[in-house]
Amino acid sequence: MFYLYLPGQQDLYTRLFKEALPDWHIAVWPEEVNTEAVTHIAAWKPVEGFFSHFPNLQVVFALGAGVDRFVHRPDLPEHVTLIRLTDAGMAQQMTEYCLYGLLHYQRQMDRYQQLQHQQTWQPLETRLAKHTRVTILGLGKLGMSVAENLARLGYQVTGWSRNPRQSDLVRCVHGCETLDTLLPETDVLFSVLPATTETRYLLDATRLALLPKDSAIINAGRGSLIDQQALLALLNHDHFRFVLLDVFEQEPLDKTHPFWSHPKVLMTPHVAADTIPEEAVEQVAANVRALSNGLPVTGKVDRSQGY
């Protein structure tokens, strides 16, 4: 049996899963079922203790790219295979989100907005894409897609990851020592890194200060990547042109947080890339069929790595 936990979207996902997996019995929470019959679950943000009800659980599909809410759960045994989405319509959205922030920087929209408030008519010097250095943190499927799309648009793109990656379009580097060398050569830093013990505060006060004065940061990965207090201090000292933040350590962001009213902060409520239901279900169904036939799947999570 395939059980779904998707509060607020039950009807749509139930229909899509029944169409994609007609040979499976599909049930949806809070429907009462024989818990011993449930072997596969697709879920997003399941309540604490949810998985402990299913003694024969074999596979859990996380209906998102981030799996930090799944990997360390005490109710999800190690023998259960955890699979995340690798795209499901998110790569194009991530590219669009990054490109918005990148154009805001390159075309100096933040400075034109300041001039508008001053009622000053002043054309600024033109800056071309080929003269704009972009660093992408995270070269999984989403990050690599963003990096290669930007490279096709003519930007100087370097991708950074913990482990080696290769691309015909993008310069790829890896390792923390390389990151410390790369940051001073960056105009716009874009992150799509997951939340792991290794990425927590990867951008601490020391590394943030390595970025050049008047650079910009776009974070669409996880809020734990950046030391928010260190970032705020550098913003207050005009180190950065601006930051575009979609993710935060606490979500929703506390209403008293200085980011809400800071003139150099652009904020969005974790919407850089939403899961597209039709594409997500298609990907899950393909992995279900692959597992049934003993074939490799996409998005299998290595819990020791956190993604």
Residues marked active site are found at 222, 270
Q: Identify which of 56, 51, 52, 19 has the alpha carbon closest to the alpha carbon of residue 39.
A: 56
Q: Identify which of 114, 112, 133 has the alpha carbon closest to the alpha carbon of residue 123.
A: 112
Q: Provide DSSP, 6-33.
A: -TT-HHHHHHHHHHH-TTS-EEETTS--
What are the φ and ψ backbone dihedral angles of 88, each rounded to 5 degrees? 55, 45
- Cα(155)–Cα(278) distance, integer angstroms: 32
Examine residue 252 and say whether the peptide bond preceding it is cis (omega within 30 degrees of 0): yes
Token couple for 46: 């399941």
E strand or H helix at 84, and its extent?
strand 81-84
User: Can you tell me which residue has the tokens 């201090």?
Assistant: 233
Decide: 107 and 82 in contact? Cβ < 8 Å.
Answer: no
Q: Which residues pair with 62 in a beta bridge?
A: 43, 84
Q: Identify which of 41, 88, 96 has the alpha carbon closest to the alpha carbon of residue 65.
A: 88
3-state class of 213 per DSSP?
coil
Separation of CA 236 from chain center: 27
Q: How far is CA 90 from CA 38, 164, 209, in A?
A: 29, 23, 31
